[in-house]
């Protein structure tokens, strides 16, 4: 919601929707456009005639809807409004997904940094013990250098990930106005899962948009079909003639004008709309296929990430316990320092896998809910 409030394109999309609705209201009228005024003045004095013949002539005409054209035009405008609303929902979906992606990446980095800092604290103690053991001649310089290298590698990794986190937080700041990372893992997966049981690709905003575009193309074709000739006009004309001793000087009559239908005009117009309907149907089918594939991918991602999380949690528990045991064994001289360092690295990698899997399955669940159109 914060990102939507900060999005500069949100207001533009809302304006498009309002403009389409106002257009539909305006087209729901008795006439397709306003009245047409026409006036003429004729005078034979300009050519030097002595007859004194002068004519004033004026008319006001109104265009008429062709049969079914007015209703078709209103439906076309309403279809444009529906398309604008659907486009608004798709834009909101894309914004929500972008916020989700940045939040997911930030959360993964934050968890990884936490695990790295915890491991760094343990290695810091190991480094101090190693330094004392080296001074006392209890371990070789090679073993001590291995501890130093591992510690420095952890330090450099932390710096690199902190820099990446700052980048994502800056993007989050630009999107939402705040660099605070939302607590993605705090979402109740059970509540989200209840919504997933109601998943329907037809509710996806992208599918609704292509359906709206198809209806818009069909409505435009209907307008073209009922616009088989230019709109006729009908009105009233007044003519005043001034001539010496003329028994008549003013006339009032009806004016009607209509251009006859022409295949040269109508066929290209109709075929253009037929092509647009075909393209809209193609886009609708492709969009449905894409959404179904994405639904399947997200479901698979949820299942695989939950499986990874389960195994990573078991692996983490075992490897952390093993690393602690090897640390105690190293301090008593039962195992080598290198073996202990490898165990600590294995435990760290298991923690990172679990942290990533935890975020991935939450993000996949939220993305499925967003695809149902529940962006706000």
In three-state secondary structure terms, 179 is coil
Q: Which of 265, 239, 242 is nearest to 58 (CA)?
A: 239
Residues of the chain with pLDDT under 70: 48-52, 188-199, 243-248, 375-376
Instruction: Copy the structure tokens of residue 234.
Output: 């009908």
DSSP assigned state of 46? G
pLDDT digits 0-9 by tens, 33-48: 888 899 998 887 777 6
How far apart (Å, rounded) are the C-alpha atoms in residues 92 and 13?
A: 10
The pLDDT value recorded for residue 107 is: 92
How many of the other CB atoms lie within 10 Å of CB of 164?
A: 16
Contact between residue 115 and residue 355 where contact means Cβ atoms under 8 Å apart: yes
In three-state secondary structure terms, 243 is coil
Q: Which of 123, 117, 97 is nearest to 165 (CA)?
A: 117
In three-state secondary structure terms, 52 is coil
> What is the Cβ-side half-sphere exposure of residue 189, based on CA atoms within 13 angstroms?
11
Could you tell me the strand order of the sheet in which 54-63 lies? 36-43, 54-63, 233-242, 250-257
The pLDDT value recorded for residue 154 is: 92
In three-state secondary structure terms, 36 is strand
Contact between residue 344 and residue 175 where contact means Cβ atoms under 8 Å apart: no
31: phi > 0 → left, psi -120 to 50 → alpha, else beta; which?
beta
Contact between residue 120 and residue 154 where contact means Cβ atoms under 8 Å apart: yes
- Alpha-carbon Rg for the chain, nearest whole angstrom, is 38
pLDDT digits 0-9 by tens, 5-21: 888 777 777 787 788 77
DSSP assigned state of 180? P
The pLDDT value recorded for residue 285 is: 94
Q: Which of 278, 220, 216 is nearest to 87 (CA)?
A: 216
Instruction: Copy the structure tokens of residue 376.
Output: 């706000």
How far apart (Å, rounded) are the C-alpha atoms in residues 318 and 62?
A: 87
The pLDDT value recorded for residue 50 is: 64
* Greatest pairwise CA separation for the chain in angstroms: 140
The pLDDT value recorded for residue 290 is: 92
Residue with tokens 């009806």, as numbered in its chain: 254
Burial, 161: exposed, middle or buried (Cβ in 10 Å; 0-12, 13-18, 19+)? middle
How far apart (Å, rounded) are the C-alpha atoms in residues 363 and 54?
A: 84
């Amino acid at each position: 919601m914060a990102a939507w409030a900060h999005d500069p394109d949100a207001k533009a999309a809302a304006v498009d929707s309002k403009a389409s609705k106002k257009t539909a209201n305006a087209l729901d009228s008795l006439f397709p456009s306003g009245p047409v005024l026409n006036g003429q003045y004729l005078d034979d004095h300009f050519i030097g005639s002595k007859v004194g013949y002068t004519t004033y002539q004026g008319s006001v005409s109104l265009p008429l809807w062709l049969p079914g054209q007015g209703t078709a035009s209103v439906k076309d405008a309403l279809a444009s409004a529906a398309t604008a609303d659907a486009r608004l929902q798709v834009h909101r979906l894309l914004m929500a997904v972008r916020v989700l992606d940045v939040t997911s990446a930030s959360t993964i980095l934050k968890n990884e940094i936490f695990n790295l800092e915890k491991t760094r604290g343990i290695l810091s103690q190991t480094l101090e013990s190693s330094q004392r053991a080296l001074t006392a001649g209890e371990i070789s310089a090679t073993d001590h250098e291995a501890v130093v290298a591992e510690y420095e590698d952890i330090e450099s990794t932390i710096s690199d990930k902190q820099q990446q986190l700052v980048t994502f937080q800056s993007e989050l700041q630009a999107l939402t106005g705040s660099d605070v990372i939302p607590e993605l893992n705090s979402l109740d997966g059970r509540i989200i899962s209840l919504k997933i049981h109601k998943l329907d690709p037809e509710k996806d905003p992208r599918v609704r948009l292509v359906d709206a575009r198809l209806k818009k193309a069909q409505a435009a074709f209907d307008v073209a079909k009922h616009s088989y000739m230019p709109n006729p006009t009908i009105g009233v004309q007044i003519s005043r003639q001034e001539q010496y001793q003329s028994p008549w000087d003013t006339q009032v009559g009806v004016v009607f004008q209509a251009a006859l239908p022409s295949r040269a005009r109508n066929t290209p117009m109709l075929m253009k709309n037929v092509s647009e309907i075909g393209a809209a149907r193609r886009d609708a089918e492709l969009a449905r296929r894409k959404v179904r594939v994405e639904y399947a991918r997200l479901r698979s991602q949820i299942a695989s990430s939950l499986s990874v999380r389960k195994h990573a949690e078991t692996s983490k528990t075992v490897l952390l316990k093993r690393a602690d045991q090897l640390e105690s064994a190293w301090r008593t001289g039962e195992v080598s320092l290198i073996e202990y360092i490898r165990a600590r690295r294995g435990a760290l990698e298991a923690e990172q896998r679990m942290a990533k899997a935890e975020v991935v399955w939450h993000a996949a669940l939220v993305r499925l809910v967003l695809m149902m159109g529940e962006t706000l």
